[in-house]
Amino acid sequence: MARRDLVKARGELVVSTSGPMDRNPAAVYVTGLGSPTSRSTMMASLNRLARLLGASEHRNEEGQDVTALFVNWPALRFQHVQALKAKLSEEYAPASVNKYLSAIRGVLKAAWRLGQLPEEDYRRAIDVEGVSGSKLPAGRDVSDGELGALFAECSEDPGPAGPRDAAILGLLRFGLRRAEVVALDVEDWDPEASMVRVQGKGRKERLVPVNSGAGEALADWLDFRGSEPGPLFWPLRKGGKPEPRRLTTQAVYHILKSRAEDAGVKELSPHDLRRTLVGDLLDAGADVVTVSKLLGHANVQTTARYDRRPEEAKRKAAGRMVLIGGMGTQQMLPKGRPDEIRDQTQRLCRDLGAGGGYILGPAKPVMADVPTENAVAFIEAALNQ
């Protein structure tokens, strides 16, 4: 049913002209979002939805994808939204599907506020439940050794790129997002307090402490750049001459990628440094609410997703188990004092027969051809290693 509704909707919801921008619900919705990152994300989501509804790709004079402007969003009804949800669920993780549904709700709300969609139709159209479920956070943790290699690579660069890149890496290490790093202005850095004022998502400001190493890199970079007002980080022309304009988020990604390759560090992303900070702080006993505020998360549950402690607890639990097998059988025993598990061990050894067996402890395997009558003593010795 959902597929038929989506196919039927194609063609019916596509328009040949975008109309005035102040009357286009997609334009009004995206323009009203609080940050460039949010506007870019939601416009990309609406463009994807527009293509699912049958719209051909449209680009403006700057080459930007504006396909979403050519959809008759006020004609969207509950069955269409439900069909889009079903289609998206086949391709994307729950969080991504819910992002698309959020974009739909936003553009329909704009249509309602513009008087293009009756309230009853609007309420019905947005009455689609989100998708439940979760995935493990993307990316990986970055080790101390890898971080040291990255900063060492920057310190060996005698030009302005060395301190600039070290300062950027330092700010990423202290939990800033790429967009937050490039949005910094010179006046956002307070060298005496070792603090940066960060403009986060939803126009929420926060102060982030920066340690002496990153602070020294910032000072060295400003020696090259100068202290005149404007963007804190500039791109560099060939020859290392700073160009006075704001760095892009894509440039930050390429800087990290290039430094990692030169330092022999396996592939990583700027977000990996952010998630590593969360894990390190929580491992050190920091309160999750405090860490959430430091990173600018609106919801503490977002921070909790990067908590490594539950995984470490599972590893420790698995490490308390000893695998005993042989002759085609495998059994699990809780690790403990031999006299506490002697009866169970003897029973298992009888099951294994006289052909011997193997013991796999929590850290290293112990292989042996052990007669049954000596198996208990051998197990006790292995457990006490």
Residue tagged active-site, from 271, 293, 305, 308: 271
Active site (annotated) includes residue 58: no
d(Cα 205, Cα 352) in Å, to the nearest integer? 65
CA nearest to 76, candidates 17, 129, 128: 128
Nearest Cα neighbor of 111 from 69, 65, 74 is: 74
Q: How far apart are CA 195 and CA 312, in angstroms?
A: 32
Dihedral (C-alpha) 96, 97, 100, 104: value to the nearest 10 degrees?
A: -160
**What is the token pair recorded at 116?**
């293009």
What does 197-223 look like in DSSP terms, one character per residue?
A: EEE-GGG-EEEEE--HHHHHHHHHHHH
- Report which of 174, 162, 1, 188 is spatially closest to residue 80, judged by C-alpha positions: 1
Q: 238: helix, coil or strand?
A: coil
Q: How far, in whole angstroms, is CA 156 from its chain's centroid?
A: 30
Annotated active-site residue 253? The verdict is no
Residue 237 exposed, middle or buried by CB count within 10 Å (0-12, 13-18, 19+): exposed
Residue 383, CA distances (Å) to 149, 273, 317, 319 in order: 39, 39, 16, 12
In the set 177, 225, 259, 275, the catalytic residue is 177
Contact call for residues 174 and 215 (beta carbons, < 8 A): no
DSSP H/E element including 313? helix 309-319
Alpha carbon distance 71, 93 (integer Å)? 25
- What the block records as the tokens of 297 is 């998360």
Active-site annotation holds for 204: no
Token pair recorded at residue 378: 């051998």
Spot the catalytic one: 29, 100, 122, 306: 306
**Residue 80 is a catalytic residue:** no
Q: Do 86 and 3 touch, CB atoms closer than 8 A? A: yes
Mark whether 201 is an active-site residue: yes
Q: Is 177 an annotated catalytic residue?
A: yes
Catalytic residue among 201, 246, 257, 305: 201
CA 365 to CA 373: how far, in whole Å?
Answer: 21
Q: Would you name the residues annotated as active-site residues? A: 177, 201, 271, 274, 297, 306
